[in-house]
Structure 1
Amino acid sequence: MAIDQRLETSDKTALVEAEVYRWYNLFFPWSRGVASQSEGAIKPLYDALANDFRVVLTDGQIMDRENYWERLWGLHGKRAGSPESHIINLSITPLPGDFFLTVFDLVKNGITKKKVDSALMRLDPDSPSGISWIYVHESEHETSFA
């Protein structure tokens, strides 16, 4: 995807927002086993990860791009029957150099724990969506609602 460097900040922020939802819309059917267990169904997620990508999972485990790919591949169907997550409280802060700090909550109806993800992302013309994920930190918190 070619990115026009003259894009306004609001247009860039919209690209980042679309990427968050694109990622989840691919991950949800994969993790529930609804998507076919083929590389093509999940590889767009891997392709959006920067070469120097790192993630900190809710259990504190740190993974690089290759290890995260193995984790993604292994999650096919592992969350079958789990309620759908909803992205709420999405916040995108533009940073210098076409970087973005993105923070959002993932909540499930009837579940008192929510997942909070923060991600450092950047414009990337080599990524399928024009955005690459550099760093993600996942955490889990109790909510005051169910």
Structure 2
Amino acid sequence: MAINPTLSTSDKTALVKAEVYRWYNLFFPWSRGVSSQSEGAIKPLYDALSSEFRVVLTDGQIMSRADYWERLWGLYGKRAGSPESHITNLSITPLPGDFFLAVFDLVKDGITKKKVDSALMRVDQNSPSGISWIYVHESEHERALA
């Protein structure tokens, strides 16, 4: 995706926000087994990961881009029947050099545990969405139900 170098910070922040939702909108049907089990259904997620991508999972496991691809592929249908997650409390902080820190919660109705993700992302015209994911840290926390 060709990114206009004159985009404002707010326009770039909007790209980051759209990328967070795009990622989840592809991951949800994949992990529930309702998308086609084809590389094309999940590869857009992988293509948005930078070559130096790392993720720390909720269990503390650290994965590289290649390892995470194997995990993504293996998650097809593994969460069938699991309630839909909702992205809440999304905050995006611009950093120098077209980097952004996105922090958000993933919550499920009626479930007391929530996942908190923080992601370092950057504007990247080589990424399909114009944004690449560099580092993600996932954690799990109890939350109060209203």
TM-score normalised according to structure 1 size: 0.99
Q: Please tell me the residue identity of whatever aligns with 1:72.
A: L
Task: Please name the residue that 1:126 is paired with.
Answer: 126
Q: Confirm whether residue 80 of structure 1 aligns to residue 80 of structure 2.
A: yes
Distance in 1 (CA, whole Å) between partners of 2:61 and 2:42 is: 22
Paired residue for 2:26? 26
- Matches of residues 25-44 of structure 1 in structure 2 within 5 Å? 25-44=25-44
How many Å separate the matches in 2 of 1:29 and 1:139?
A: 22
- Give the residue type in structure 2 aligned to 1:92: I
Letter in 1 for 2:87: I
Could you tell me which amino acid in structure 1 is paired with residue 26 of structure 2? L
Superposed CA offset, 1:109-132 (max 9, x none): 000000000000000000000000
Aligned to 1:49: 49
Secondary structure, counterpart of 2:35 in structure 1: coil
Amino acid at match of 2:19: E
Q: Verify: 1:98 aligned to 2:98, yes or no.
A: yes
% same residue: 85
In structure 2, what is the Cα distance between the partners aligned to 1:115 and 1:131?
Answer: 22
Count of paired positions? 146
Between the aligned partners of 2:128 and 2:36, the Cα distance in structure 1 is 20
Q: C-alpha displacement at 1:145, in angstroms?
A: 1.1
Structure 2 alignment gaps of length 5 or more: none
2:78 partner letter: K
SS of the residue corresponding to residue 10 of structure 2 reads helix
Runs of 5+ consecutive residues of structure 1 not aligned to the other structure: none
